[in-house]
Amino acid sequence: MWTLKAKRAEEHKEELLKEIKAFFDSKPYTIGTKTDPQTKRLIYYITKADKVPDRIALITGDIIQSLRSTLDHLIYQLFIINSKDAKPTRHLYFPILENLAMYEKEKERKTKGISQSALDLIDKVKPYKGGNDILWKIHELNNIDKHRLLVTVGSSFGSVDIGAHMQELMKASFPSFDTPEMPLFIKPADILFPLESGDELFIDAPDAKPISNMKFRFNLVLNEPGIVEGEPITDLIQSMTDEVENLITIFDEEAKGSNR
């Protein structure tokens, strides 16, 4: 029963991927070019950046909540197995803390009633900032989603295809040579979060001509300063899901062993 929330997280994840695809299919970004009047450099810039639908942030929060609940349900299951005659309690949580010192202080209170072997397994997971940052992010983002409505989601600048620019330079230097495409996407130093109309993406040489096949990639990211800053949602959610599923496997073996 305690894995049902994990399955619910997977359902939400599929829903999230569909929403993200629908957003990108709507062609939310358009790019134009302009010339700097002083330097004469060609500038590629955003002429339109649609707002990311709130539904994407809502579903992201649902996934994180389901993953956090899975961990708490796990602890409760271990409590039931180890203390079959004990009365239900509300004070059981998978302990995820701000640092090692706080973890050592709080872990036994939050897991009172589980077996020592189960607590030893949790110790190995290092569920605190600086130990297992993925679990810590799940915990912190879940608190934000519960107490401040929605986690912060928006668009960012993912990468630019420098290869298209190199191809044009090759064509200019060797006009008789059939220059092949050479895709080379480079991540920018500044992801420009939140992406807005007017943001400059790439500055070319003076008097350069616009390149028709110049490609830019964009990401939907989650941004909560001090926790996650501009991390692509799909990558972050996948790493969180993988971590919780790994713990399910580990603690399922512990639960089976306790039942023997």
154-174 pLDDT tens trace: 999 999 998 877 777 766 666
Asked if pLDDT for residue 213 goes beyond 90, the answer is no
Query: What is the band of 86 on the pLDDT scale with cuts at 50, 70, 90?
Result: low
Is the pLDDT at 65 greater than 70? The verdict is yes
Q: Which of 255, 184, 254, 249 is nearest to 213 (CA)?
A: 184
Provide the mean pLDDT of the chain.
Answer: 90
Confidence of residue 176 (pLDDT cuts 50, 70, 90): low
Bond from prior residue into 194 cis (ω within 30 degrees of 0): yes
Residue 227 CB coordination number (10 Å):
18
Q: Which two tokens stand for residue 201?
A: 């993406």
pLDDT, residue 239, reads 97
The predicted-structure confidence for 11-60, as pLDDT tens digits, reads as follows 999 999 999 999 999 999 999 999 999 999 999 999 999 999 999 999 99
CA distance 41 to 62: 46
Check residues 80 and 160 and name the one with the higher pLDDT: 160
Q: At what angle do helices 116-125 and 100-110 cross, to 10 degrees?
A: 150
Q: Locate the domains of the chain by residue range.
A: 4-259
pLDDT band at 203 (very low <50, low <70, confident <90, very high): very high
| Cα 41 to Cα 202: distance, rounded to the nearest angstrom | 10
User: For residues 65 and 87, what is the distance between their CA atoms, to the nearest angstrom?
Assistant: 26
Q: pLDDT at position 19, please?
A: 98
Alpha-carbon distances, residue 168 vs 84, 171, 172, 214 (angstroms) = 72, 5, 6, 10
Model confidence at 81, in pLDDT bands (50, 70, 90)? confident
**Integer CA distances (angstroms), 256 to 72, 118, 193, in order:** 18, 12, 46
Rounded mean pLDDT, 66-82: 90
**How far apart are the C-alpha atoms of 200 and 233, rounded to whole Å?**
23
Compute CA distances 244 → 16, 53, 135, 161, 207, whole Å. 18, 27, 8, 35, 53
Q: Residue 92: which residues within 8 A CB-CB, separation 6 or more?
A: 72, 75, 76, 79, 110, 111, 112, 113
39: tokens are: 């330097």
DSSP string, 146-208: HHSSS--EEEEEEEEEHHHHHHHHHHHH-TTS-PPP---EE--S---SSP-TT-EEEEEEETP
The pLDDT confidence band at residue 257, using thresholds 50, 70 and 90, is low
- Helix/strand/coil for 51: coil
Question: Would the pLDDT of 149 be above 80?
Answer: no
Residue 85 pLDDT exceeds 70: no
Lowest mean pLDDT among 135-144, 156-165, 232-241: 156-165
Compute the average pLDDT of residues 171-194: 80
pLDDT band at residue 145 under the 50/70/90 scheme: confident
User: In the predicted model, is pLDDT for residue 240 greater than 80?
Assistant: yes
Percentage of the chain beyond pLDDT 90 is: 68
Q: Assess whether pLDDT exceeds 70 at residue 234.
A: yes
205-218 burial, b if ≥16 CB within 10 A, otherwise e? eeebeebeebebeb
Whole-angstrom Cα distance, residue 205 to residue 77? 63
Q: Report the run of H or E that residue 74 belongs to, with start and end.
A: helix 54-82
